[in-house]
Structure 1
Amino acid sequence: MSLDYSRKQSVVFFSDIVGYTRLMGKDEDKAFALMRQNLQIHQEVLSNFRGKIIKELGDGILAVFETVPEALAASLEIQRQQSLIPDMSIRIGLHIGDIIFDKGDVFGDAVNLASRIQGIGVPNCLLISEQVKDQIPPNSEFHTSRLGPFRLKNVDHPVELFAVTNAPLAIPKRTEIIKNIQYQEKNPWKFWAVLGATAFILVYLIYSVFWNNPIWEKEKSVAILPFANSSENPDQEFFSEGLTEDVISQVSKIGSIKVISEEAVQGFKNTDFPLDSIAKILDVSTILKGNVQWIGDRIQINVQLIDPEESRNLWAETYNREATDIFKVQADIATEIARVLNSSLSSEERSLLSKTQTSSFEAYELHLKGRELYSRYDKQSVLEAIEYFKAALKEDPNYALAYASLADCYAQLSYYGEGDQWQDSSLEMSSKALAIDPYLAEGFKSQGNVYYYRGQNEYAKISFEKALASNPNLSSAIGNLATVYFVAGNLTEALKLQKKSVALNPTNFLPYQISGWIYRVLDQFDLANDWLDRSSSLQKDPITIEQKAFIEIENGNQNRALNFIDSLFTGDKDTTALEYSTAGTIAFFSGDWDRTKEFLTKSIEKTPEFEQDEYFTSPILLAYIFKEENDRQKAEELWEQANSVRMLAMEHFGDDFNLYLDLAQLEAIKGDRLQAINYLFIAEAKGLRDDFYIINNPIFKNYLKEPKVLSILEMIQKERIQANQTLQSSDLQRNR
């Protein structure tokens, strides 16, 4: 047994098919069919009651539960379903006690005792120990009958047993239990016969299930390509797209499987790209293809899981269901992918997969239409999406996911400049979503987004972490959490999350860009350039160009840095405010004042509402230029505007070091050295790890010999050294 085992009080569940060995001798095919049906019932029911299957014992099941009511409810439901199957009867035994969990198995006296209790039962009964009986809540729906104490084999004390008497359970007599005990003691050969039959069953199952489908030993990863719309009505396109997103969301809840984000797979919609090429681009070992077709009021979904490297099918299924069964189909697909990829599901994962957001297909369809509109990311589409989400909530007022989608829309309205009051509305909607479903990842993600917009980074961090606890592959939450860590100065954690974001969304330029940015801050310039180049290969972005120019400036190559400016103005398109601002910033740090003035002035002209933007830095850099040129009036106008908007922003964004860095620059321009240094201290404490903005900044050129500034730079240097050591240690561990 390993040293990393854990001990926990749990309810131990044993079940066994009565007369299975005899049935095997008469009709093997029927016996195998019953065993498979028995396993399927156990998997479905136990997942609904947070039960965890530990192992399959041929015709029996060993499982554990956290609470007695859940174990009893699951046992009763299993017996109810089994009673409807001809020639099927099982017995179940429950006991509670401390057990040891080690490498997916369980050990301890409680396990052995539960097995003994099950073994002496009669067909269709549910036997429980006194310890289980004592934990049934008062006024419970479960009723019991005392059978008395019994001496069980290899148990050194009498065991008080009770039978649960709820219909359709059989209620054994005490004499029947005693006969079963005596029969077992007189017929020890039966144990070996059952063991032999079980071994034969297991060998047969291994042969039949895995002979042509070896246990999956490659990376557990999947790209779920957009489902094709095979319906005659092209207006049903929204449904196939929404179903794709929902299946991705379901599989993403399985922590042991890497699931490529919906954004990344959209690029392969309706393409003839070879599957092995798609697999290489997305870095996955399997691909799921599917199509959706409406046949009257029924829906047919065909899915196929493929190993693209070996060009072979791993699993295929056709679901022909009523529309209202669509939610179960999503869970079934996720469960089958986990099975094929040899990923065991935790009880929490099974519970998340079995949960349905709504029982109303009408509400679901309205929600899909709203999501399709929201994904266009323009103001008018968001306004239209809001109406669809509201309509979905009229159909089902308890549709938590629709509330989360409304929260996203309201936050987007705030982003479009419609007013910060929409952030309050967004938080209200995400709160409603989480009140209905406390484990809804999308609700926590929406909540975290608003907290981040408001600069409440600690609250944002908590929300994103809760989102990832329910959906470990939610790439949007991973990227946003990485940004929160970056702003807080935790570079190693930010980099780890950005790399995970790259793995889940390898066609998005942003995580590559930020990873390169982090490596530049850590003075690992070769790695920084590599990541930034990969970002540029996906999308040309001004910030990527700025970061590459900063690397040249840090290496003393100002002229090479200035050469990057030309790449911002290629093509016939209209130059954006961000491109002018980036060009001006590169020129500023490279010491080219004329081009700085030209580009930053144009960036302000392109930004009509710049006076309300606390992160727009062009006015600060221009104020310094005008002061150096003795144009005090222009310098003071820009200084006042930049200072006032940041002083107001501190009330809402007090956790963001960027504000304090900007205020330090403004105070240095004003000439207040003491206050400028004070703001630099605060910026470092809040997470400033990029000393480029101090060492290479013309505004601070006369501050670099100040003892207090040197102490700030020393603190940043220590943080950088510590981060590099942590990363080096992690790399060494991975390479072992």
Structure 2
Amino acid sequence: MKETRKLNTILLADIAGYTAMMQEDEARALELLQIFKKILGNHVAKFEGHIVQYYGDACILSFDSTTLGVQCAISLQVEFRENNLPIRIGMHLGEVVFTENNVFGDGVNIASRIESMGIPNSVLISGSIRDQIKNKNEFSLKSLGSFEFKNVNEPLEVFALENKGLSVPERSKMVGKFKEQSRKPKRLLKFAGVLAILITTFFLFNYLTGNEATAKENSIAVLPLINLNNTDEFEYFSDGVTQEIIDELAKISSITVSAFTSTYQYKNQTMPQREIAEELGVKYLIAGSYRLFEEDKRIRLSLELIDPFTKERIWNNTLNEEMSNAQMIQLSVARKVAENLNIELTSAEKSDLENPSTKNGEAFRLYLQAKSEINKLSPEGLENGTRFLEEAIKLDQNFSQAHTLLAWRYTAGASADFVPGIKRSTSESVALAMPYIEKALENDPEGSDIFLVRANLKLYSQNKIENAKEDVERAFRISSWPRIPTNYCICTAVSAFIASRELDRAKEIAEQAKDIDPGHVLYDWDLGNIAMKEGDYLRAKFYYGLSVAKADIPFFNTFLGWSLYYNEQYEEALKYLTKAYDNSPLAARWNVASLSNTYFKMGDKENADKYLQELLDRSSSGEPHLNLFIADILLERNEKNRALDYLEQGVSNSDFGFAVFLSLIPKFKTLQNEPRFQEILTKIQSPGI
């Protein structure tokens, strides 16, 4: 086999999150892989590069010219972004060995390490690349600092390209193929005297300064519990208790725990545990199974805390509990995990792990069932969830979490976008939700969740931006969450700051939430909304595309189609908008308006009129919440006065989401100087759009 050794620029590119994509939608993932390969094939030769090898969802490229290689990386990311491909790129200049169809050496290994710490749409480079291009004005660079990588002897400084359109990762949030810290479970260590004091001081310093190493050392993912019952009837218990264990572990400041939506993708998977831990970037896993015995109202739960890298079982236990005591399970698990990882709990943490949210086991079981149903965001699921919560509250009038969730059900359940055709007015939704909000506040006046729920009601049902923002700010001041809320929709906070034109704050919250809970589909939607507000329609398309990749439902297909409409990609927009329309028993208002506007732009007035008429007919039949979207269609046709008529009717009725969506749809900026429009903005407490 002929070998050639030379100094070369190596570019490594891969599709971020591809394993999860394959598990969620194999056909879509394979389609993206083909697009990835096609774009590479079209670009590389133009920059005198060579495709060395494809492997899985990644590719190695080589360039004799470093400058051309970096130019190619930027050009590729522009094309990948336009095609909703979340690609990471890492580059290094070093000595490598070429064979007939492969390349080896430290140059490849270092490029791989650098690529692993990137984020979608980023180009990260080594110091050797930077030295070659630092005097070229076409490249904008930012140092991310020095890093220690696996199997690399010396720390390496890594730089990010900051050229327009590229993403730059934050150092504090980076994960990658770094050198591992040693792991020393409790039973291997005996602390005494001065050593114990020094270590306690070390942990306290790390906690107060936010040192990332401590968090990574005690990072845990809780895998969905396996249901051993021969029926799906008790599947709610798997998801519910898994989430509750995660929530309790998250209260321990020395532990970093992966969010439920990140671990849910591994449900019923046979993937090796080490690979799961590597993908999630954690040191430990909690795995287990359960069986419910309905006849004698018992539960048997088998759990283990393992180090998947050494295959050491650090702790395991089988719990046999009466269902009447089920609410104590997650507290017991959290205490045992802390004990076996040698974590010293604070007095506040000890108190939290001794006090369940309810002392009634049956109320807790009903609460878990309700969460499972409400998360479906279907009319049937919302009704079932309501029934379970009402039964739970009858058993425990002071069950604050149940009151909060029922209030959330009436706020989120009022959505004319998740529940198209809903006949309930926002004033009716407010009347239904407020008693539960008041009771939750009475039981737990220092709980952040209920203020976020009330903010949602004020923002989407009462259409009062500043009033909603006050509750959001209060929720963050109290900050009873371990890090940031993920159980209730943080998009309330993001939307409030978008509507008040505080986009930096909106972006900060959305990116933090996505970092903590990367599997949560609504955080990609949030970032898409921010991009739309900024007028960056290409970036919006990228994030809405990520939402569709995670949850291929009409709601997200509509937003992706809507962004394509603003990108003037009308044929592509129709593909997603029509798909959403065809897969809905009754199409959502945003979907119908976007179809009408897209056809109008394409010169197809017959279809444009058909969808306008559909909304007009639905409005005439008594369906509320449609006024803003009829106005959107009319404004596309430059019928400003009629559009303003419908907007005035929408604000008068307080149509669901009026304030948020008025601030989000770019077309309404054309009305800024209209006195009637200014009055509307005043009524919704808007600083302008």
TM-score in terms of structure 1 length: 0.54
Matches within 5 A, 1:479-628: 479-522=491-534, 527-540=539-552, 541-550=557-566, 552=567, 558=568, 560-561=569-570, 563-570=572-579, 573-574=582-583, 576-577=587-588, 578-586=590-598, 596-605=608-617, 612-613=624-625, 616-622=628-634, 625=637, 627=639
Matches within 5 A, 1:393-432: 393-412=393-412, 414-415=414-415, 416-419=422-425, 420-432=427-439
Q: Secondary structure at the match of 2:637?
A: helix
Change (3 A) 1:658 1:589: farther
Q: Secondary structure at the match of 1:612?
A: coil
The aligned residue for residue 249 of structure 2 is 251
1:683-710 C-alpha deviation (Å, 9 max, x unpaired): 9993556xxxxxxxxxxxxxxxxxxxxx
Unaligned runs of 5+ in 2: 1-185, 416-421
> Counterpart of 1:303 in structure 2: which amino acid?
L
Contact 2:627–2:649 (8 Å) recurs in 1: no
How many angstroms apart in 2 are the aligned matches of 1:326 and 1:60?
36
- Quick one: which of 651, 658, 679 aligns to 1:646? 651
The aligned residue for residue 443 of structure 2 is 436
Contact 1:661–1:683 (8 Å) recurs in 2: no
Q: Secondary structure at the match of 1:686?
A: coil
Instruction: State the 1:547 CA deviation.
Output: 1.9
Change (3 A) 1:269 1:332: same
> Counterpart of 1:249 in structure 2: which amino acid?
D
The aligned residue for residue 349 of structure 2 is 349
Contact 2:214–2:254 (8 Å) recurs in 1: no
Instruction: State the 1:467 CA deviation.
Output: 7.2
Contact 1:225–1:266 (8 Å) recurs in 2: yes
Q: Secondary structure at the match of 2:377?
A: coil
Find out whether 1:658 has 2:662 as its counterpart.
Answer: yes
Contact 2:463–2:654 (8 Å) recurs in 1: no
The aligned residue for residue 262 of structure 1 is 260
> Counterpart of 2:330 in structure 1: which amino acid?
Q
> Counterpart of 1:564 in structure 2: which amino acid?
A
Contact 1:467–1:477 (8 Å) recurs in 2: no
Contact 1:445–1:467 (8 Å) recurs in 2: no
Q: Secondary structure at the match of 2:591?
A: helix
Q: Secondary structure at the match of 1:579?
A: helix
Find out whether 1:458 has 2:469 as its counterpart.
Answer: yes
How many angstroms apart in 2 are the aligned matches of 1:448 and 1:294?
38
Instruction: State the 1:444 CA deviation.
Output: 3.7
Change (3 A) 1:622 1:340: farther
- Quick one: which of 203, 220, 229 aligns to 1:222? 220
Find out whether 1:448 has 2:455 as its counterpart.
Answer: yes
How many angstroms apart in 2 are the aligned matches of 1:272 and 1:398?
41
Q: Secondary structure at the match of 2:628?
A: coil
Change (3 A) 1:643 1:319: same
> Counterpart of 1:547 in structure 2: which amino acid?
S
How many angstroms apart in 1 are the aligned matches of 2:543 and 2:632?
30
Q: Secondary structure at the match of 2:245?
A: helix
Contact 1:451–1:459 (8 Å) recurs in 2: no
Instruction: State the 1:238 CA deviation.
Output: 3.6
> Counterpart of 2:205 in structure 1: which amino acid?
K
Give me the CA root mean square deviation: 4.7
Q: Secondary structure at the match of 2:304?
A: strand
- Quick one: which of 255, 269, 272 aligns to 2:270? 272
How many angstroms apart in 2 are the aligned matches of 1:642 and 1:344?
57
The aligned residue for residue 159 of structure 1 is none
Tell me whether 618-627 or 428-437 shows the greater mean CA deviation.
618-627
How many angstroms apart in 2 are the aligned matches of 1:292 and 1:647?
52
Find out whether 1:364 has 2:357 as its counterpart.
Answer: no
1:229-282 C-alpha deviation (Å, 9 max, x unpaired): 335786544434432222122123345544444345444333334445544665
Contact 2:577–2:595 (8 Å) recurs in 1: yes
> Counterpart of 2:457 in structure 1: which amino acid?
V
Contact 1:248–1:259 (8 Å) recurs in 2: yes
How many angstroms apart in 2 are the aligned matches of 1:684 and 1:393?
34
How many angstroms apart in 1 are the aligned matches of 2:246 and 2:195?
34
How many angstroms apart in 1 are the aligned matches of 2:357 and 2:374?
19
The aligned residue for residue 388 of structure 1 is 388
Q: Secondary structure at the match of 1:469?
A: coil
Instruction: State the 1:283 CA deviation.
Output: 5.4
TM-score in terms of structure 2 length: 0.57
How many angstroms apart in 2 are the aligned matches of 1:232 and 1:539?
28
The aligned residue for residue 103 of structure 1 is 205
The aligned residue for residue 124 of structure 2 is none
The aligned residue for residue 178 of structure 2 is none
Count residues with an aligned counterpart. 475
> Counterpart of 2:563 in structure 1: which amino acid?
Q
Instruction: State the 1:461 CA deviation.
Output: 0.9
Matches within 5 A, 1:132-171: none
- Quick one: which of 472, 479, 489 aligns to 2:483? 472
How many angstroms apart in 2 are the aligned matches of 1:501 and 1:292?
30
Which protein has greater RCO, CA pairs closer than 8 Å, 6+ apart? Answer: 2
Contact 1:660–1:680 (8 Å) recurs in 2: no
How many angstroms apart in 1 are the aligned matches of 2:613 and 2:658?
29
Q: Secondary structure at the match of 1:218?
A: helix
Find out whether 1:318 has 2:322 as its counterpart.
Answer: no
How many angstroms apart in 1 are the aligned matches of 2:298 and 2:680?
65
1:703-731 C-alpha deviation (Å, 9 max, x unpaired): xxxxxxxxxxxxxxxxxxxxxxxxxxxxx
> Counterpart of 1:405 in structure 2: which amino acid?
L
Matches within 5 A, 1:281-296: 282=280, 284-293=282-291
Change (3 A) 1:465 1:486: same
Instruction: State the 1:291 CA deviation.
Output: 1.4
Contact 2:455–2:469 (8 Å) recurs in 1: no
How many angstroms apart in 2 are the aligned matches of 1:684 and 1:443?
22
Contact 1:465–1:481 (8 Å) recurs in 2: no
1:621-678 C-alpha deviation (Å, 9 max, x unpaired): 32663859xxxxxx75x6544432324439x98975827989977978xxxx651674
Percent of paired sites with the same residue: 18
1:140-171 C-alpha deviation (Å, 9 max, x unpaired): xxxxxxxxxxxxxxxxxxxxxxxxxxxxxxxx
How many angstroms apart in 1 are the aligned matches of 2:279 and 2:561?
24
Instruction: State the 1:543 CA deviation.
Output: 1.0
